Amino acid sequence: MKAFEHARDILLDIIENQQPFSVAIKRVFTQTPVEQPLQPLVRSLTSCELHHHMLLNHVVTKRYPDLALKDRLLIQVILGNNVFIKRVPYPEVAIYLRDFMVSLGIEEQSVEQFMRDTEPGRQLIGPDVPTNTVEYLSLRFNTPAWLITMWQKHFGIPNTYKILKANNQAVFQACRINDLKANADYVLEHDSYFIKGPCPNTVIYQGREPLKLRPLYKDNYVFQQRLAVTDILNKFDFSTMFGDVLIVETRPNALYLEIPIATNNKNRVQVATNSIARKLDIQKAIGSFGLANIVVFESTPKLLISHVSHPQDFVILVSNCSKFDLIRSLPDFFIHFKQDNIDGLIAEQKEALHESSKFVAEGGLFSYGINTINKKEGQNLIANFLSEHQDFTLIHEKQYFPFDEMNTALYMAIMRKKINNK
């Protein structure tokens, strides 16, 4: 039963040391070490516990509140196997679990009752938690109560329930076609693991092999992009509407690829990113895709004045945010993200909006995008920005949800700077 203990050790690294899921797995696999044949099982057990962490923690803590974290997590890993993924047969696990709990000094009668209450097929959420409560939804969908309450306030109870259900599904591996090399028909013809996406120039990868290993991806025929982003950009004619484009990112994105590809390298694009490592990654990708007319520099929004010499026709701000779009991709998302993080993010976004807006030409467009579901960082923040910047008007805003056709959590606002008729 070493797999359960390895999974427990990974969870300890994630929770106690705040290590990301992928980093913690690598650390335990190399330091323990974990034999290769056992690694897939350990990974599955760890992921399962994280996907149901709030429920499993509720069940164990309610009965045994004084257990040490390492012991509680081991029981939770075992319960995750027994109730959800069932990778290790229950008869084998039952003996191991009973012996372990007795070794902790728990009375045998209590252990037997606990095992009856949590055996495969039993409902883990007890009748003491009504199904019409936020607590029930929190336990069922592994989402903090504060966030469910906020979503209900911002988007209503029906939409909140749809968000929670969608977050329990895997996110689409959506890709944008590199128009400079191929079209959607070419991709579909040469790799059957791709299917057509819901908007033009997009495909969705459905294979089991990692996308990065597929020949069409390695050879830059496609690149990963959220469907909603392409849906928005498809509404603009860059060849006639814009000359100079400035992308300001405080969160990584793929617009530096999509805009030049969509315009056949005709627009002048500047990309401001806030780290040297990210700048080098962007420059490498630009070279790999054979793109031109792109300048990349390292800068915070506040220091743009040192790099941008004149107003731009289109300024796109991709801001750091709460990243609720990643809930579907990162099983440990809520281990790391806390409610208190939001206020700091809003202050950062407000400054980025103000500084980036200085470089929009009269009559030009200013776009703000965040991959999250949160009116505080989206609609409310833009309303505040517009009240403080009377020279801008809102021409379009939209909140995309993970349950939409575009399968994306994204808020986008597009504003126009007024022409000063002096």
Reply yes or no on whether the pLDDT at 211 is more than 70: yes
Among the residue ranges 204-218, 229-243, 278-292, the one predicted with the least confidence is 229-243
User: Sorting pLDDT into bands at 50, 70 and 90, what band is 103?
Assistant: very high
Cβ-based neighbour number of residue 108 at 10 Å: 10
409 shares its domain with 289? yes
6 shares its domain with 140? no
Task: State residue 58's pLDDT score.
Answer: 98
72 shares its domain with 159? no
Domain boundary at 117, 149, 175, which?
117
247 shares its domain with 367? yes
Q: Is residue 177 part of a domain?
A: no
Q: Is residue 383 part of a domain?
A: yes
Query: Average per-residue pLDDT in the chain?
Result: 96
Reply yes or no on whether the pLDDT at 421 is more than 80: no
140 shares its domain with 81? no
Does residue 122 contact residue 79 with C-beta atoms inside 8 Å?
no
Among the residue ranges 32-41, 150-159, 380-389, 413-422, the one predicted with the least confidence is 413-422
Among the residue ranges 72-76, 133-137, 247-251, 266-270, the one predicted with the least confidence is 266-270
User: Sorting pLDDT into bands at 50, 70 and 90, what band is 1?
Assistant: confident
Structural domain for 146, as ranges? 134-167
User: Sorting pLDDT into bands at 50, 70 and 90, what band is 238?
Assistant: confident
- pLDDT tens figures, 279-312: 999 999 999 999 999 999 999 999 999 999 999 9
Q: Is residue 346 part of a domain?
A: yes
Q: Is residue 194 part of a domain?
A: no
Domain boundary at 51, 86, 117, which?
117
Task: State residue 422's pLDDT score.
Answer: 54
Cβ-based neighbour number of residue 3 at 10 Å: 22
Reply yes or no on whether the pLDDT at 92 is more than 70: yes
User: Which domain CATH number covers 394?
Assistant: 3.40.50.150
11 shares its domain with 67? yes
DSSP string, 289-338: HT--SEEEEE--GGGGGGT--S-EEEEEEE-----GGGGGT-TTHHHH--
Name the residue among 281, 253, 282, 265 with its Cα closest to residue 368.
253
- CA dist list (Å): 148 to 130, 143, 213, 261, 341: 16, 7, 37, 39, 16
398 shares its domain with 297? yes
* pTM (two decimals): 0.95
Q: Is residue 129 part of a domain?
A: no
Reply yes or no on whether the pLDDT at 181 is more than 80: yes
Q: Is residue 197 part of a domain?
A: no
390 shares its domain with 315? yes
Q: Is residue 91 part of a domain?
A: yes
Average pLDDT over residues 22-47: 96
Q: Is residue 6 part of a domain?
A: yes
253 shares its domain with 375? yes
407 shares its domain with 291? yes
234 shares its domain with 372? yes
User: Which domain CATH number covers 14?
Assistant: 1.10.940.10
- pLDDT tens figures, 334-387: 999 999 999 999 999 999 999 999 999 999 999 999 999 999 999 999 999 999
Task: Compute the half-sphere exposure of residue 188: CA atoms within 13 Å on the CB side of its CA.
Answer: 10
Domain count, the chain: 3
Reply yes or no on whether the pLDDT at 277 is more than 90: yes
- CA dist list (Å): 93 to 37, 82, 89: 19, 8, 6
Alpha-carbon span 226 to 236, nearest angstrom: 17
Does residue 247 contact residue 316 with C-beta atoms inside 8 Å?
yes
384 shares its domain with 275? yes
Average pLDDT over residues 142-150: 98
